[in-house]
Structure 1
Protein backbone atom coordinates (compact mmCIF):
# COMPACT_ATOMS: atom_id res chain seq x y z
CA UNK A 1 0.00 0.00 0.00
CA UNK A 2 1.70 3.17 -1.21
CA UNK A 3 1.57 6.32 0.95
CA UNK A 4 2.11 9.62 -0.86
CA UNK A 5 3.61 12.64 0.89
CA UNK A 6 1.46 15.17 -0.94
CA UNK A 7 -1.96 15.29 -2.59
CA UNK A 8 -3.36 17.81 -5.06
CA UNK A 9 -6.48 18.48 -7.07
CA UNK A 10 -7.03 20.42 -10.29
CA UNK A 11 -10.56 21.63 -10.87
CA UNK A 12 -10.29 21.79 -14.65
CA UNK A 13 -11.86 24.05 -17.29
CA UNK A 14 -12.33 23.90 -21.05
CA UNK A 15 -13.12 27.61 -21.39
CA UNK A 16 -11.48 29.00 -24.53
CA UNK A 17 -9.63 31.88 -22.85
CA UNK A 18 -6.07 32.42 -21.64
CA UNK A 19 -6.86 32.11 -17.93
CA UNK A 20 -10.11 30.19 -17.32
CA UNK A 21 -11.99 31.20 -14.18
CA UNK A 22 -12.84 27.57 -13.56
CA UNK A 23 -9.24 26.36 -13.38
CA UNK A 24 -8.12 25.95 -9.75
CA UNK A 25 -5.48 23.96 -7.89
CA UNK A 26 -5.16 22.98 -4.23
CA UNK A 27 -2.72 20.73 -2.40
CA UNK A 28 -2.37 19.19 1.05
CA UNK A 29 0.39 17.35 2.88
CA UNK A 30 0.11 13.84 4.30
CA UNK A 31 0.29 14.77 7.97
CA UNK A 32 -2.95 15.35 9.96
CA UNK A 33 -1.88 18.88 10.93
CA UNK A 34 -1.27 19.90 7.31
CA UNK A 35 -3.72 22.46 5.98
CA UNK A 36 -4.99 22.43 2.41
CA UNK A 37 -3.44 25.23 0.38
CA UNK A 38 -4.98 27.02 -2.58
CA UNK A 39 -2.25 27.53 -5.17
CA UNK A 40 -2.96 30.50 -7.42
CA UNK A 41 -0.41 32.34 -9.57
CA UNK A 42 -0.76 36.06 -10.19
CA UNK A 43 -3.64 36.53 -12.61
CA UNK A 44 -4.87 32.95 -12.25
CA UNK A 45 -4.02 29.67 -13.92
CA UNK A 46 -3.63 29.02 -17.62
CA UNK A 47 -3.61 25.49 -18.99
CA UNK A 48 -0.05 26.08 -20.14
CA UNK A 49 0.97 27.05 -16.61
CA UNK A 50 -0.81 23.98 -15.25
CA UNK A 51 1.17 21.82 -17.69
CA UNK A 52 4.40 23.50 -16.56
CA UNK A 53 3.47 22.81 -12.91
CA UNK A 54 2.93 19.14 -13.70
CA UNK A 55 6.19 18.87 -15.66
CA UNK A 56 8.10 20.52 -12.80
CA UNK A 57 6.85 17.87 -10.38
CA UNK A 58 7.70 15.17 -12.88
CA UNK A 59 11.26 16.47 -13.11
CA UNK A 60 11.55 16.79 -9.34
CA UNK A 61 10.11 13.32 -8.77
CA UNK A 62 7.72 14.70 -6.16
CA UNK A 63 5.89 12.03 -4.16
CA UNK A 64 2.44 13.42 -4.99
CA UNK A 65 -0.94 12.06 -6.06
CA UNK A 66 -2.66 14.53 -8.39
CA UNK A 67 -6.38 14.38 -9.09
CA UNK A 68 -7.69 16.03 -12.26
CA UNK A 69 -11.41 16.74 -12.54
CA UNK A 70 -11.88 15.81 -16.19
CA UNK A 71 -12.63 12.77 -18.30
CA UNK A 72 -9.39 11.56 -19.90
CA UNK A 73 -11.17 9.65 -22.63
CA UNK A 74 -14.43 9.16 -24.54
CA UNK A 75 -16.75 6.15 -24.51
CA UNK A 76 -15.29 3.27 -26.49
CA UNK A 77 -16.60 -0.05 -25.16
CA UNK A 78 -20.28 0.62 -25.91
CA UNK A 79 -19.73 0.95 -29.67
CA UNK A 80 -16.35 -0.67 -30.19
CA UNK A 81 -14.69 2.69 -30.87
CA UNK A 82 -14.63 6.35 -29.93
CA UNK A 83 -16.05 7.46 -33.27
CA UNK A 84 -17.80 4.52 -34.94
CA UNK A 85 -17.65 4.50 -38.74
CA UNK A 86 -14.97 7.21 -38.84
CA UNK A 87 -11.88 5.72 -40.46
CA UNK A 88 -9.59 7.92 -38.32
CA UNK A 89 -11.06 6.77 -35.00
CA UNK A 90 -8.11 5.99 -32.64
CA UNK A 91 -7.54 2.56 -31.13
CA UNK A 92 -6.72 3.59 -27.56
CA UNK A 93 -6.61 6.56 -25.19
CA UNK A 94 -3.04 7.65 -25.91
CA UNK A 95 -3.76 7.67 -29.63
CA UNK A 96 -6.88 9.73 -28.91
CA UNK A 97 -4.85 12.29 -26.93
CA UNK A 98 -2.34 12.56 -29.77
CA UNK A 99 -5.13 13.01 -32.32
CA UNK A 100 -6.83 15.79 -30.34
CA UNK A 101 -3.57 17.63 -29.74
CA UNK A 102 -2.54 17.34 -33.41
CA UNK A 103 -5.89 18.56 -34.75
CA UNK A 104 -5.91 21.49 -32.29
CA UNK A 105 -2.29 22.53 -32.81
CA UNK A 106 -3.33 26.01 -33.95
CA UNK A 107 -5.78 26.62 -31.10
CA UNK A 108 -4.64 29.18 -28.55
CA UNK A 109 -4.39 28.42 -24.82
CA UNK A 110 -4.38 24.63 -25.33
CA UNK A 111 -7.99 24.93 -26.47
CA UNK A 112 -9.87 22.31 -28.45
CA UNK A 113 -12.26 24.24 -30.67
CA UNK A 114 -10.75 22.91 -33.87
CA UNK A 115 -11.60 19.35 -32.93
CA UNK A 116 -15.29 19.90 -32.27
CA UNK A 117 -15.58 22.01 -35.43
CA UNK A 118 -14.00 19.34 -37.61
CA UNK A 119 -16.51 18.18 -40.25
CA UNK A 120 -16.39 14.55 -39.14
CA UNK A 121 -15.69 14.91 -35.42
CA UNK A 122 -18.53 17.38 -34.84
CA UNK A 123 -21.09 14.69 -35.77
CA UNK A 124 -20.46 12.95 -32.42
CA UNK A 125 -21.13 15.98 -30.17
CA UNK A 126 -24.06 18.00 -28.90
CA UNK A 127 -23.14 21.61 -29.67
CA UNK A 128 -26.24 23.48 -28.53
CA UNK A 129 -30.00 23.63 -28.70
CA UNK A 130 -31.05 22.31 -32.07
CA UNK A 131 -27.45 21.45 -32.98
CA UNK A 132 -26.78 17.83 -32.09
CA UNK A 133 -24.58 15.65 -34.25
CA UNK A 134 -26.22 12.66 -35.91
CA UNK A 135 -23.76 10.33 -34.11
CA UNK A 136 -24.28 11.81 -30.63
CA UNK A 137 -25.98 8.67 -29.34
CA UNK A 138 -28.80 8.20 -26.88
CA UNK A 139 -31.30 11.04 -26.93
CA UNK A 140 -30.92 13.28 -23.91
CA UNK A 141 -27.99 11.48 -22.31
CA UNK A 142 -25.48 10.70 -25.03
CA UNK A 143 -22.92 7.91 -24.88
CA UNK A 144 -21.27 7.11 -21.55
CA UNK A 145 -18.07 5.37 -20.54
CA UNK A 146 -18.35 2.15 -18.53
CA UNK A 147 -17.35 3.96 -15.33
CA UNK A 148 -19.98 6.63 -15.94
CA UNK A 149 -22.73 4.05 -16.40
CA UNK A 150 -21.48 2.30 -13.27
CA UNK A 151 -21.61 5.54 -11.28
CA UNK A 152 -25.19 6.15 -12.35
CA UNK A 153 -26.29 2.60 -11.53
CA UNK A 154 -24.68 2.61 -8.08
CA UNK A 155 -25.63 6.19 -7.23
CA UNK A 156 -22.03 7.27 -6.69
CA UNK A 157 -22.35 10.15 -9.18
CA UNK A 158 -24.58 11.43 -11.96
CA UNK A 159 -22.11 11.66 -14.81
CA UNK A 160 -22.78 13.50 -18.05
CA UNK A 161 -21.62 12.39 -21.48
CA UNK A 162 -18.21 13.66 -22.58
CA UNK A 163 -19.79 14.28 -25.98
CA UNK A 164 -22.02 17.00 -24.51
CA UNK A 165 -20.67 20.54 -25.09
CA UNK A 166 -23.60 22.60 -23.80
CA UNK A 167 -25.15 23.48 -20.44
CA UNK A 168 -23.96 23.52 -16.85
CA UNK A 169 -23.28 19.77 -16.90
CA UNK A 170 -21.14 19.78 -20.04
CA UNK A 171 -17.75 18.15 -19.61
CA UNK A 172 -16.67 17.74 -23.23
CA UNK A 173 -14.58 20.91 -23.52
CA UNK A 174 -12.68 20.31 -20.29
CA UNK A 175 -12.08 16.71 -21.29
CA UNK A 176 -10.67 17.67 -24.70
CA UNK A 177 -8.36 20.35 -23.32
CA UNK A 178 -7.29 17.91 -20.62
CA UNK A 179 -6.41 15.34 -23.26
CA UNK A 180 -4.05 17.85 -24.85
CA UNK A 181 -2.27 18.29 -21.53
CA UNK A 182 -2.11 14.55 -20.87
CA UNK A 183 -0.58 14.01 -24.32
CA UNK A 184 2.04 16.70 -23.74
CA UNK A 185 3.12 15.08 -20.50
CA UNK A 186 4.53 12.41 -22.86
CA UNK A 187 4.90 9.71 -20.24
CA UNK A 188 6.65 11.95 -17.71
CA UNK A 189 3.95 11.25 -15.09
CA UNK A 190 2.12 7.90 -14.88
CA UNK A 191 -1.61 8.34 -15.42
CA UNK A 192 -3.70 5.69 -13.67
CA UNK A 193 -5.13 3.31 -14.82
CA UNK A 194 -3.54 3.71 -18.27
CA UNK A 195 -0.20 3.26 -16.49
CA UNK A 196 0.62 1.15 -13.42
CA UNK A 197 1.25 2.99 -10.16
CA UNK A 198 5.03 3.27 -9.59
CA UNK A 199 6.77 2.91 -6.22
CA UNK A 200 7.80 6.57 -6.18
CA UNK A 201 7.23 9.90 -7.90
CA UNK A 202 4.03 11.66 -9.02
CA UNK A 203 0.87 9.93 -10.24
CA UNK A 204 -2.22 11.42 -11.92
CA UNK A 205 -5.75 10.08 -11.42
CA UNK A 206 -9.13 11.19 -12.75
CA UNK A 207 -11.45 12.42 -10.00
CA UNK A 208 -14.97 13.86 -9.72
CA UNK A 209 -15.31 16.69 -7.23
CA UNK A 210 -18.94 15.73 -6.56
CA UNK A 211 -17.77 12.41 -5.07
CA UNK A 212 -15.51 14.30 -2.67
CA UNK A 213 -18.34 16.68 -1.76
CA UNK A 214 -20.62 13.77 -0.89
CA UNK A 215 -17.90 12.22 1.27
CA UNK A 216 -17.71 15.56 3.09
CA UNK A 217 -21.41 15.39 3.91
CA UNK A 218 -22.70 17.46 1.01
CA UNK A 219 -25.55 15.95 -1.00
CA UNK A 220 -25.75 16.23 -4.77
CA UNK A 221 -27.97 19.30 -4.47
CA UNK A 222 -25.46 20.91 -2.04
CA UNK A 223 -22.20 19.86 -3.67
CA UNK A 224 -21.10 23.42 -4.43
CA UNK A 225 -19.56 25.42 -1.56
CA UNK A 226 -19.44 29.21 -1.73
CA UNK A 227 -18.78 30.44 1.82
CA UNK A 228 -16.19 29.99 4.57
CA UNK A 229 -18.44 28.22 7.08
CA UNK A 230 -19.54 25.56 4.59
CA UNK A 231 -15.95 25.06 3.42
CA UNK A 232 -14.62 24.61 6.95
CA UNK A 233 -17.47 22.23 7.80
CA UNK A 234 -16.77 20.10 4.73
CA UNK A 235 -13.04 19.97 5.42
CA UNK A 236 -13.62 19.08 9.08
CA UNK A 237 -15.79 16.16 7.96
CA UNK A 238 -12.76 14.94 6.02
CA UNK A 239 -10.46 15.34 9.01
CA UNK A 240 -8.75 18.42 7.61
CA UNK A 241 -7.94 21.76 9.17
CA UNK A 242 -9.23 24.88 7.38
CA UNK A 243 -7.03 26.64 4.83
CA UNK A 244 -5.63 30.13 5.14
CA UNK A 245 -8.39 32.74 4.66
CA UNK A 246 -9.51 33.00 1.04
CA UNK A 247 -10.11 36.23 -0.82
CA UNK A 248 -13.28 34.74 -2.29
CA UNK A 249 -15.05 31.40 -1.95
CA UNK A 250 -15.77 30.58 -5.57
CA UNK A 251 -16.88 26.99 -6.07
CA UNK A 252 -13.85 26.12 -8.23
CA UNK A 253 -11.43 26.96 -5.43
CA UNK A 254 -13.53 25.22 -2.78
CA UNK A 255 -13.96 22.16 -5.02
CA UNK A 256 -10.17 21.90 -5.34
CA UNK A 257 -9.59 22.31 -1.59
CA UNK A 258 -12.25 19.78 -0.56
CA UNK A 259 -11.20 17.24 -3.16
CA UNK A 260 -7.52 17.47 -2.22
CA UNK A 261 -8.47 16.67 1.39
CA UNK A 262 -10.74 13.83 0.23
CA UNK A 263 -8.01 12.42 -2.02
CA UNK A 264 -5.64 12.25 0.94
CA UNK A 265 -8.19 10.11 2.81
CA UNK A 266 -9.32 7.97 -0.11
CA UNK A 267 -5.87 7.09 -1.38
CA UNK A 268 -4.67 5.72 1.95
CA UNK A 269 -7.85 4.12 3.31
CA UNK A 270 -6.81 0.51 3.90
CA UNK A 271 -10.41 -0.71 3.80
CA UNK A 272 -10.99 0.85 0.38
CA UNK A 273 -7.50 0.46 -1.09
CA UNK A 274 -8.32 -2.53 -3.28
CA UNK A 275 -11.74 -1.20 -4.37
CA UNK A 276 -10.33 2.18 -5.40
CA UNK A 277 -7.12 1.03 -7.10
CA UNK A 278 -8.43 -2.28 -8.48
CA UNK A 279 -12.18 -1.86 -9.11
CA UNK A 280 -13.85 -5.11 -10.06
CA UNK A 281 -15.38 -3.76 -13.30
CA UNK A 282 -12.07 -2.40 -14.64
CA UNK A 283 -10.73 -4.88 -17.20
CA UNK A 284 -7.85 -4.53 -19.66
CA UNK A 285 -10.02 -3.28 -22.54
CA UNK A 286 -11.45 -0.49 -20.37
CA UNK A 287 -8.06 0.33 -18.91
CA UNK A 288 -6.42 1.14 -22.25
CA UNK A 289 -9.37 2.85 -23.94
CA UNK A 290 -11.62 4.55 -21.36
CA UNK A 291 -9.81 4.65 -18.04
CA UNK A 292 -11.57 4.89 -14.68
CA UNK A 293 -12.53 7.49 -12.09
CA UNK A 294 -10.53 7.11 -8.87
CA UNK A 295 -12.84 6.53 -5.92
CA UNK A 296 -15.54 4.73 -7.93
CA UNK A 297 -15.85 1.15 -6.77
Structure 2
Protein backbone atom coordinates (compact mmCIF):
# COMPACT_ATOMS: atom_id res chain seq x y z
CA UNK A 1 0.00 0.00 0.00
CA UNK A 2 1.33 3.45 -0.91
CA UNK A 3 2.46 5.59 2.06
CA UNK A 4 0.20 8.39 0.79
CA UNK A 5 -2.79 6.07 0.22
CA UNK A 6 -5.04 8.20 2.47
CA UNK A 7 -5.50 11.95 2.24
CA UNK A 8 -7.51 12.43 5.44
CA UNK A 9 -7.51 10.80 8.88
CA UNK A 10 -10.53 10.85 11.17
CA UNK A 11 -11.19 9.43 14.62
CA UNK A 12 -14.51 9.00 16.41
CA UNK A 13 -14.80 8.69 20.16
CA UNK A 14 -17.97 6.67 20.67
CA UNK A 15 -20.76 6.30 23.23
CA UNK A 16 -23.19 3.53 24.02
CA UNK A 17 -25.20 5.69 26.42
CA UNK A 18 -28.99 5.86 26.41
CA UNK A 19 -30.56 8.62 24.31
CA UNK A 20 -30.36 10.18 20.89
CA UNK A 21 -27.55 12.73 21.14
CA UNK A 22 -24.37 12.32 23.16
CA UNK A 23 -21.73 14.60 24.60
CA UNK A 24 -19.52 11.50 24.62
CA UNK A 25 -19.34 11.30 20.83
CA UNK A 26 -16.57 13.39 19.28
CA UNK A 27 -15.34 13.43 15.68
CA UNK A 28 -11.93 14.81 14.68
CA UNK A 29 -10.11 14.93 11.34
CA UNK A 30 -6.77 16.01 9.90
CA UNK A 31 -5.08 15.95 6.53
CA UNK A 32 -1.63 14.89 5.42
CA UNK A 33 1.43 16.67 6.80
CA UNK A 34 1.61 18.13 10.29
CA UNK A 35 -1.44 20.38 10.40
CA UNK A 36 -3.29 20.08 13.72
CA UNK A 37 -6.40 17.91 13.81
CA UNK A 38 -9.72 19.68 14.21
CA UNK A 39 -13.10 18.82 15.66
CA UNK A 40 -15.84 18.23 13.09
CA UNK A 41 -18.96 20.31 13.85
CA UNK A 42 -17.70 21.93 17.07
CA UNK A 43 -20.39 22.22 19.71
CA UNK A 44 -22.66 19.74 17.93
CA UNK A 45 -24.10 16.79 19.86
CA UNK A 46 -23.93 13.88 17.48
CA UNK A 47 -26.41 11.06 17.23
CA UNK A 48 -25.14 7.62 16.28
CA UNK A 49 -27.14 7.70 13.05
CA UNK A 50 -25.56 11.06 12.14
CA UNK A 51 -22.11 9.54 12.56
CA UNK A 52 -23.07 6.66 10.26
CA UNK A 53 -24.38 9.16 7.69
CA UNK A 54 -21.21 11.27 7.94
CA UNK A 55 -18.99 8.25 7.34
CA UNK A 56 -21.10 7.05 4.41
CA UNK A 57 -21.71 10.38 2.70
CA UNK A 58 -20.20 13.33 4.53
CA UNK A 59 -16.51 12.76 5.14
CA UNK A 60 -13.89 13.58 2.47
CA UNK A 61 -12.80 10.98 -0.06
CA UNK A 62 -9.87 8.72 0.78
CA UNK A 63 -10.30 9.06 4.54
CA UNK A 64 -8.99 6.52 7.02
CA UNK A 65 -11.48 6.71 9.86
CA UNK A 66 -11.06 5.02 13.22
CA UNK A 67 -14.15 4.11 15.21
CA UNK A 68 -13.54 3.56 18.93
CA UNK A 69 -15.56 0.37 19.30
CA UNK A 70 -15.00 -3.38 19.19
CA UNK A 71 -16.25 -4.56 15.82
CA UNK A 72 -17.13 -8.06 16.96
CA UNK A 73 -17.19 -10.51 19.87
CA UNK A 74 -14.85 -13.27 20.96
CA UNK A 75 -15.12 -16.31 18.69
CA UNK A 76 -11.76 -18.07 18.40
CA UNK A 77 -11.55 -19.15 22.04
CA UNK A 78 -14.65 -21.36 21.82
CA UNK A 79 -15.30 -21.64 18.11
CA UNK A 80 -18.50 -19.58 18.33
CA UNK A 81 -19.86 -16.31 19.66
CA UNK A 82 -22.53 -18.15 21.63
CA UNK A 83 -21.37 -21.77 22.05
CA UNK A 84 -24.15 -24.31 22.29
CA UNK A 85 -26.74 -22.17 20.49
CA UNK A 86 -27.65 -23.50 17.05
CA UNK A 87 -28.44 -19.99 15.78
CA UNK A 88 -25.09 -18.49 16.78
CA UNK A 89 -23.83 -16.34 13.84
CA UNK A 90 -21.01 -17.75 11.70
CA UNK A 91 -19.08 -14.49 11.17
CA UNK A 92 -19.02 -10.81 12.07
CA UNK A 93 -21.37 -9.67 9.31
CA UNK A 94 -23.94 -12.23 10.44
CA UNK A 95 -23.43 -11.01 14.02
CA UNK A 96 -24.09 -7.40 12.99
CA UNK A 97 -27.24 -8.51 11.18
CA UNK A 98 -28.41 -10.37 14.28
CA UNK A 99 -27.77 -7.35 16.54
CA UNK A 100 -29.68 -5.20 14.07
CA UNK A 101 -32.55 -7.65 13.68
CA UNK A 102 -33.12 -8.21 17.39
CA UNK A 103 -32.68 -4.49 18.21
CA UNK A 104 -34.61 -3.02 15.28
CA UNK A 105 -37.26 -1.56 17.59
CA UNK A 106 -34.71 -0.05 19.99
CA UNK A 107 -34.44 3.72 19.42
CA UNK A 108 -31.26 5.61 18.57
CA UNK A 109 -29.32 2.48 17.51
CA UNK A 110 -29.44 1.05 21.02
CA UNK A 111 -29.08 -2.71 21.44
CA UNK A 112 -30.78 -3.60 24.70
CA UNK A 113 -33.14 -6.06 23.04
CA UNK A 114 -30.18 -8.02 21.72
CA UNK A 115 -28.82 -8.82 25.18
CA UNK A 116 -32.35 -9.48 26.46
CA UNK A 117 -32.63 -12.48 24.13
CA UNK A 118 -32.79 -15.52 26.46
CA UNK A 119 -29.99 -17.45 24.74
CA UNK A 120 -27.72 -14.45 24.26
CA UNK A 121 -28.25 -13.17 27.82
CA UNK A 122 -26.66 -16.36 29.13
CA UNK A 123 -23.27 -15.10 27.87
CA UNK A 124 -23.42 -11.57 29.36
CA UNK A 125 -22.76 -9.91 32.70
CA UNK A 126 -25.42 -7.25 33.15
CA UNK A 127 -26.56 -4.73 35.75
CA UNK A 128 -28.53 -5.91 38.74
CA UNK A 129 -26.11 -8.75 39.53
CA UNK A 130 -27.32 -10.61 36.48
CA UNK A 131 -24.53 -12.83 35.21
CA UNK A 132 -25.38 -15.40 32.60
CA UNK A 133 -24.47 -18.99 33.36
CA UNK A 134 -22.20 -19.01 30.29
CA UNK A 135 -20.40 -15.72 30.97
CA UNK A 136 -17.39 -17.68 32.18
CA UNK A 137 -16.38 -15.64 35.21
CA UNK A 138 -13.40 -13.34 35.67
CA UNK A 139 -13.13 -10.46 33.26
CA UNK A 140 -14.98 -12.43 30.58
CA UNK A 141 -14.02 -13.67 27.13
CA UNK A 142 -11.55 -11.67 25.02
CA UNK A 143 -10.88 -11.60 21.31
CA UNK A 144 -7.43 -12.50 20.00
CA UNK A 145 -6.69 -8.84 19.24
CA UNK A 146 -7.38 -8.08 22.91
CA UNK A 147 -5.61 -11.07 24.45
CA UNK A 148 -2.54 -10.80 22.19
CA UNK A 149 -2.31 -7.43 20.48
CA UNK A 150 -3.66 -4.97 23.02
CA UNK A 151 -2.14 -6.68 26.03
CA UNK A 152 1.30 -6.74 24.40
CA UNK A 153 1.15 -2.94 24.15
CA UNK A 154 0.35 -2.54 27.83
CA UNK A 155 -3.38 -1.96 27.42
CA UNK A 156 -5.97 -3.32 29.83
CA UNK A 157 -8.66 -4.82 27.60
CA UNK A 158 -12.14 -5.55 28.88
CA UNK A 159 -14.57 -8.13 27.61
CA UNK A 160 -17.38 -7.08 25.30
CA UNK A 161 -19.56 -9.57 27.17
CA UNK A 162 -19.33 -7.40 30.29
CA UNK A 163 -21.91 -4.60 30.43
CA UNK A 164 -21.16 -3.50 34.01
CA UNK A 165 -18.75 -0.88 35.35
CA UNK A 166 -17.13 2.35 34.23
CA UNK A 167 -14.61 0.58 31.98
CA UNK A 168 -17.12 -1.64 30.18
CA UNK A 169 -17.16 -1.28 26.40
CA UNK A 170 -19.87 -3.80 25.55
CA UNK A 171 -22.75 -1.36 25.19
CA UNK A 172 -20.80 0.99 22.94
CA UNK A 173 -19.60 -1.89 20.79
CA UNK A 174 -23.10 -3.29 20.28
CA UNK A 175 -24.40 0.11 19.19
CA UNK A 176 -21.33 0.37 16.96
CA UNK A 177 -22.19 -2.96 15.35
CA UNK A 178 -25.51 -1.48 14.27
CA UNK A 179 -23.51 1.29 12.58
CA UNK A 180 -21.20 -1.25 10.92
CA UNK A 181 -24.27 -3.09 9.63
CA UNK A 182 -25.43 0.15 7.99
CA UNK A 183 -22.00 0.89 6.53
CA UNK A 184 -21.54 -2.65 5.16
CA UNK A 185 -21.15 -2.30 1.40
CA UNK A 186 -21.00 1.50 1.51
CA UNK A 187 -17.36 1.76 2.65
CA UNK A 188 -14.54 -0.72 3.20
CA UNK A 189 -14.49 -2.10 6.76
CA UNK A 190 -11.03 -3.44 7.65
CA UNK A 191 -10.17 -6.26 8.26
CA UNK A 192 -13.55 -7.70 7.29
CA UNK A 193 -12.84 -6.19 3.86
CA UNK A 194 -9.42 -5.89 2.22
CA UNK A 195 -8.06 -2.37 1.81
CA UNK A 196 -9.09 -1.19 -1.68
CA UNK A 197 -6.69 0.83 -3.86
CA UNK A 198 -8.92 3.89 -3.60
CA UNK A 199 -11.65 5.19 -1.33
CA UNK A 200 -12.20 5.50 2.39
CA UNK A 201 -11.66 2.75 4.96
CA UNK A 202 -13.11 2.27 8.45
CA UNK A 203 -10.96 0.60 11.12
CA UNK A 204 -11.55 -0.22 14.76
CA UNK A 205 -9.37 1.79 17.12
CA UNK A 206 -8.65 1.85 20.83
CA UNK A 207 -7.74 5.40 21.82
CA UNK A 208 -5.38 4.15 24.53
CA UNK A 209 -3.09 2.87 21.76
CA UNK A 210 -2.85 6.39 20.36
CA UNK A 211 -2.01 7.71 23.82
CA UNK A 212 0.71 5.09 24.28
CA UNK A 213 2.20 6.04 20.91
CA UNK A 214 2.31 9.63 22.12
CA UNK A 215 4.38 8.66 25.17
CA UNK A 216 1.65 8.37 27.77
CA UNK A 217 0.92 5.29 29.90
CA UNK A 218 -2.23 3.19 29.98
CA UNK A 219 -3.05 4.61 33.40
CA UNK A 220 -2.61 8.16 32.09
CA UNK A 221 -4.19 7.69 28.67
CA UNK A 222 -6.97 10.22 29.27
CA UNK A 223 -6.02 13.81 28.48
CA UNK A 224 -8.00 16.64 30.07
CA UNK A 225 -5.84 19.72 29.51
CA UNK A 226 -4.82 21.46 26.30
CA UNK A 227 -1.20 21.63 27.42
CA UNK A 228 -1.04 17.85 27.78
CA UNK A 229 -2.78 17.41 24.44
CA UNK A 230 -0.24 19.72 22.80
CA UNK A 231 2.66 17.65 24.17
CA UNK A 232 1.06 14.41 22.98
CA UNK A 233 0.41 15.82 19.51
CA UNK A 234 4.00 17.01 19.21
CA UNK A 235 5.15 13.46 19.99
CA UNK A 236 3.14 12.37 16.94
CA UNK A 237 4.75 15.03 14.70
CA UNK A 238 1.61 17.14 14.71
CA UNK A 239 1.22 20.81 15.41
CA UNK A 240 -0.93 21.45 18.51
CA UNK A 241 -4.53 22.55 18.46
CA UNK A 242 -5.38 25.99 19.76
CA UNK A 243 -6.70 26.28 23.27
CA UNK A 244 -5.74 26.49 26.92
CA UNK A 245 -6.99 25.14 30.20
CA UNK A 246 -9.24 22.09 30.42
CA UNK A 247 -10.57 20.01 27.51
CA UNK A 248 -13.03 17.13 27.78
CA UNK A 249 -11.43 13.74 27.26
CA UNK A 250 -13.81 12.81 24.43
CA UNK A 251 -12.57 15.61 22.18
CA UNK A 252 -8.99 15.01 23.31
CA UNK A 253 -9.24 11.30 22.50
CA UNK A 254 -10.61 12.01 19.02
CA UNK A 255 -8.03 14.72 18.24
CA UNK A 256 -5.09 12.63 19.39
CA UNK A 257 -6.32 9.48 17.63
CA UNK A 258 -6.76 11.32 14.32
CA UNK A 259 -3.16 12.53 14.47
CA UNK A 260 -1.98 9.04 15.43
CA UNK A 261 -3.79 7.46 12.48
CA UNK A 262 -1.89 9.83 10.19
CA UNK A 263 1.40 8.31 11.34
CA UNK A 264 0.23 4.73 11.91
CA UNK A 265 -1.34 4.33 8.46
CA UNK A 266 2.16 4.34 6.91
CA UNK A 267 3.29 1.29 8.93
CA UNK A 268 2.71 -1.85 6.84
CA UNK A 269 3.03 -4.20 9.83
CA UNK A 270 -0.09 -2.69 11.39
CA UNK A 271 -2.13 -3.82 8.40
CA UNK A 272 -0.87 -7.42 8.68
CA UNK A 273 -0.69 -8.45 12.36
CA UNK A 274 1.01 -11.83 12.73
CA UNK A 275 -1.80 -13.30 14.86
CA UNK A 276 -4.61 -12.14 12.58
CA UNK A 277 -5.53 -15.16 10.45
CA UNK A 278 -8.17 -14.98 7.73
CA UNK A 279 -10.63 -16.71 10.06
CA UNK A 280 -9.99 -14.23 12.86
CA UNK A 281 -10.31 -11.30 10.46
CA UNK A 282 -13.67 -12.65 9.31
CA UNK A 283 -15.11 -13.49 12.74
CA UNK A 284 -13.43 -11.30 15.38
CA UNK A 285 -11.90 -8.43 13.45
CA UNK A 286 -8.88 -6.58 14.77
CA UNK A 287 -7.94 -3.38 16.57
CA UNK A 288 -5.82 -1.28 14.23
CA UNK A 289 -2.43 -0.68 15.83
CA UNK A 290 -2.53 -3.78 18.04
CA UNK A 291 0.34 -6.07 17.03
CA positional deviation for 1:29: 0.5
1:100 equivalenced with 2:99 (yes/no): yes
User: Structure 1 residues 239, 155: CA separation in 2 closer, same or farther (over 3 Å shift)?
Assistant: closer
User: Structure 1 residues 152, 191: CA separation in 2 closer, same or farther (over 3 Å shift)?
Assistant: closer
Who is 2:213 aligned against? 215
Task: Tell me the distance in 2 between the aligned counterparts of 1:104 and 1:42.
Answer: 29
Q: Is the 8 A contact 2:227 2:245 kept in 1?
A: no
Task: Tell me the distance in 1 between the aligned counterparts of 2:43 and 2:247.
Answer: 17
Who is 2:152 aligned against? 154
Q: Is the 8 A contact 2:67 2:204 kept in 1?
A: yes
CA positional deviation for 1:161: 0.4
Who is 1:141 aligned against? 139
Aligned with residue 263 of structure 1, among 256, 261, 264 = 261
CA positional deviation for 1:228: 1.0
- What is the correspondence of 1:14-163 to structure 2 with a 5 Å cutoff? 14-32=16-34, 34-40=35-41, 43-57=44-58, 62-128=61-127, 130-137=129-136, 139-151=137-149, 153-163=151-161
CA positional deviation for 1:185: 1.2
Query: What is the TM-score when the length of structure 1 is the normalising length?
Result: 0.93
User: Structure 1 residues 166, 100: CA separation in 2 closer, same or farther (over 3 Å shift)?
Assistant: same
Q: Is the 8 A contact 1:151 1:158 kept in 2?
A: no
SS in 1 for 2:121: helix
Structure 1, unmatched stretches of 5+, are none
CA positional deviation for 1:129: 5.6
CA positional deviation for 1:153: 4.7
Q: Is the 8 A contact 2:151 2:157 kept in 1?
A: no
Query: What is the TM-score when the length of structure 2 is the normalising length?
Result: 0.95
1:277 equivalenced with 2:271 (yes/no): yes
Task: Tell me the distance in 1 between the aligned counterparts of 2:124 and 2:244.
Answer: 37
CA positional deviation for 1:41: 5.7
User: Structure 1 residues 42, 64: CA separation in 2 closer, same or farther (over 3 Å shift)?
Assistant: same
CA positional deviation for 1:248: 5.8
Aligned Cα root-mean-square deviation (Å): 1.6
String of CA shifts for 1:219-264, please: whole Å, max 9, x gaps: 1111101111111111111111122438961101100000100110
Who is 1:11 aligned against? 13
Aligned pairs, how many? 289
Q: Is the 8 A contact 2:225 2:245 kept in 1?
A: no
Q: Is the 8 A contact 2:91 2:283 kept in 1?
A: yes
